[in-house]
Amino acid sequence: MLDIAPAPVTAPPRARQRRRRRRRWSGLLYLAPALLLYTLFTVLPALHTAYLSFFNWDGVTLPSFAGLGNYRSVVADPELRAAAEHAGTLILFFSVLPIALGLVCAAIVARRRRRGLAVIRAVVFLPQVLPLVAVGIIWRWVYAEQGTVNQVLQAVGLGRWAQAWLGSFDWALVAVGVVGTWVVSGLCMVLFLSGTQRIDGEIYEASRVDGAGPVREFLSITVPLLRPEIAVALSITVIAALSSFDLVYITTGGGPGTTTVVPGILIYRLAFGGGAVGLASALAVVLTLVIFAVVLVITRLSRERP
């Protein structure tokens, strides 16, 4: 006589649905505290800023409805366009240069892995964890007339180039950009160094057997396989460039003149010093939309091709 094992007992469909709903509500309860804080301190202020952008308000008296007038001013005002151009220039220093340096560093490490990689990561990532206020104060000393940069120039016989870099109409924006490159490069390098750890070393060995040199390995293996990390680094650094405020405020305050004014500085001046809260809100909304659009484009371009 054959022994027939009893069929497994399965819960009825209604019971399974109840368990699923219970698990779903449990997950929402775990998310509720963070979601509440995010709504109170991010979503609601953002909606309020968008609301204020349709009014002319000095922050004290009653506001008057302006419609799209503030947004037309954002597009037409040459000072606002100049601030956008300065932010675009900072993308070169906050994004392009750090990513290029990080890729080169990652390629060197991937070609010949060496001991002490953890120490290298800690050293290059150190500027990223320092408060930007402290970074700005330190670099003000470095760029001062008797600072490190001018002392080095005098030591190598280039004393005629010594100047107050942060007070120069020609070099102030570049000087701030170099600080941004120094700060952000550590983040890019750590991202790319982590990415190289998942690249199979046999790929490099096979390419060397085929006669590929360092440049060919870099262009054909390292860069394509680091596409996800490049997309993340590009998104973070572009956002940092477009929304820069604290570093510029501490180092130059937007000067000399308006040569280093960026949208963040302009929003601060309009809202807290110029009595134009509505215009500042409109500029903040436009800046947010631009950042969203740029990140969306980067995300779409970085997707894996079929």
- Which pLDDT tens digit goes with each residue over 37-79? 999 999 999 999 999 999 999 888 888 999 899 999 888 888 8
Question: Are residues 105 and 192 in contact, defined by beta-carbon separation less than 8 angstroms?
Answer: yes
Residue 8 has pLDDT above 60, yes or no: no
Greater model confidence, 184 or 112: 184
The pLDDT value recorded for residue 81 is 85
Reported CATH class of domain 89-264:
mainly alpha
The pLDDT value recorded for residue 11 is 52
Confidence grade of residue 306 (pLDDT, cut at 50, 70, 90) = very low
Read off the pLDDT of residues 154-178 as tens digits, 9 standing for 90 and up. Answer: 999 888 899 989 999 999 999 999 9
Residue closest to 151 by CA, chosen among 292, 265, 141: 141
Tell me the average pLDDT across 244-260.
Answer: 91
Read off the pLDDT of residues 198-238 as tens digits, 9 standing for 90 and up. Answer: 888 788 788 888 887 878 888 888 888 888 899 999 999 99
Read off the pLDDT of residues 77-123 as tens digits, 9 standing for 90 and up. Answer: 888 888 989 998 999 999 999 999 988 887 777 666 666 677 777 78
The pLDDT value recorded for residue 214 is 79
Would you list the domain boundaries of the chain?
A: 89-264
Tell me the average pLDDT across 129-144.
Answer: 91
Name the percent of the chain lying above pLDDT 90: 43
* Cα separations in angstroms, 134 against 38, 104, 131, 179, 290: 28, 28, 5, 12, 29
Residue 293 has pLDDT above 80, yes or no: yes
Tell me the average pLDDT across 250-278.
Answer: 91
The pLDDT value recorded for residue 193 is 85
Residue 4 has pLDDT above 70, yes or no: no
Residue with tokens 């990652």: 106
Give the integer Cα–Cα distance in Å for 85 and 95: 15
Which residues have C-beta within 8 Å of that of residue 66, sequence separation ≥ 6?
Answer: 54, 55, 56, 278
The pLDDT value recorded for residue 110 is 66
Q: What is the mean pLDDT of the chain?
A: 86
The pLDDT value recorded for residue 1 is 45
The pLDDT value recorded for residue 28 is 81
Burial class (CB in 10 A: 0-12, 13-18, 19+), 239: middle
Residue 128 has pLDDT above 80, yes or no: yes
**pTM of the full predicted structure?**
0.83
The pLDDT value recorded for residue 114 is 62
